[in-house]
Amino acid sequence: MGQPVLAEVVAPAGECCSVAPSGALIEFAENNRATGFASEYTSPAGNRYHDITANRGPIYSDGPLGVDHHGGCSEIGCLLQAVDAEGLDGLGGDMVTIRNRPPNSPIPPGPPVGLGTPATPCDMCEDVLDANGINY
């Protein structure tokens, strides 16, 4: 969108999150504006995957992530990409999530609630992350 990367204006990791969002994650959100969140997942091998909140269909407990989930969260999109690329060895890494905002959102970027603000995974995602040994 031609806007400056927000890495410098976003506060460092605070009460909610153990890891500050990377400039790459913020840039990904700026280039994929939508209502919801954006996540960056780093697999144990060091590969990075990005995704946003999207209607990608449910996942089930008999699938690779082992937990039922509606599938819409950005975290799930990242993990499905990682499993596609690396198989189950791709699980067990680190997840970082930030708020995303649609184009023309009246909410200014950055904290307290704008694009780039660190966010905590929802309860359903926490179940998936915990079950797969993923830090967040």
Q: Pick from 59, 95, 125, 134 the residue near Zn ion by CB under 5 A.
A: 125
As given in the structure block, the two tokens for residue 53 are: 């909140």
6 vs 59, beta carbon nearer Zn ion: 59
**10 vs 119 by CB, closer to Zn ion:** 119
Does residue number 25 form part of the binding site for Zn ion (CB under 5 A)? Answer: no
The footprint of Zn ion on residues 71-100 (CB under 5 A) is 73
Are the beta carbons of 126 and 85 closer than 8 angstroms?
no
Nearest to 43 by CA among 102, 101, 83: 83
Count of residues near Zn ion by CB under 5 A: 3
Least spacing, CB of residue 123 vs Zn ion, in Å: 8
As separate numbers, helices (DSSP H) first and strands (DSSP E) second, the chain gives: 3, 4
Q: Which residue has the tokens 């209502």?
A: 35
What is the binding site for Zn ion (CB under 5 A)?
Answer: 73, 122, 125
